[in-house]
Amino acid sequence: MRRQAHLTDEAALSVAQDYVTMVIGGQTFGIPVLDVRDVLGPQIITRVPLAPAEIAGSLNLRGRIVTAIDMRRRLGLPADGFAEKAMAVVVEHEDEPFSLLVDEVGEVLSLPSTLCEPVPATLGPRWRDVSQGIYRLEDKLLLVLSVGNVIDAVTPDAIH
């Protein structure tokens, strides 16, 4: 379901960007819709020995091994038992699939790119590192997630 967020008419006429929304620890995030390859319900995740804490493990997606990143751990939030019940947003980075484990996946929002603001300096460093912008919606803030920053921070040697 795609909808136009309630913004001014002038802003709605500007170039829009579509985002898949998701919730992590009560905060709404958005990923550009073109970066999302799949959305999955809870999956069986196999733990990878000696992997960083943010790596929940790996899962099998139609015969491909996909690294699962626990977004709660990545953001410094409590994550006990989270990976077993999390939704999985599958993205690709440098031709490799990754699954971002989130609390829930919402709708697709079409937002004017002119209303995207820089990430506030007051945002915690872990959150700032994974965000590339922020939208002030009527009832909440939407942080735009930088898929590359999320993945590069937890798997620097694995894909470079």
Give the domain CATH number at 13: 2.40.50.180
138 in any annotated domain: yes
Phi-psi region of 140 (alpha: psi -120 to 50; beta: other; left: phi over 0): beta
159 in any annotated domain: no
Write down the pTM of the prediction: 0.84
pLDDT digits (tens, 9 = 90+) for 38-50: 999 999 999 989 8
Residue 156 confidence (pLDDT) = 57
Report the alpha-carbon distance of residue 105 to residue 131 in Å, rounded.
17
11 in any annotated domain: yes
Report the alpha-carbon distance of residue 22 to residue 1 in Å, rounded.
14
Expressed as residue numbers, the domain containing 120 is: 2-154
82 in any annotated domain: yes
SS3 37: strand
160 in any annotated domain: no
70 in any annotated domain: yes
Is pLDDT at 64 greater than 70 in this prediction? Answer: yes
64 in any annotated domain: yes
113 in any annotated domain: yes
Per-chain mean pLDDT for the chain: 87
Number of folded domains that form the chain: 1
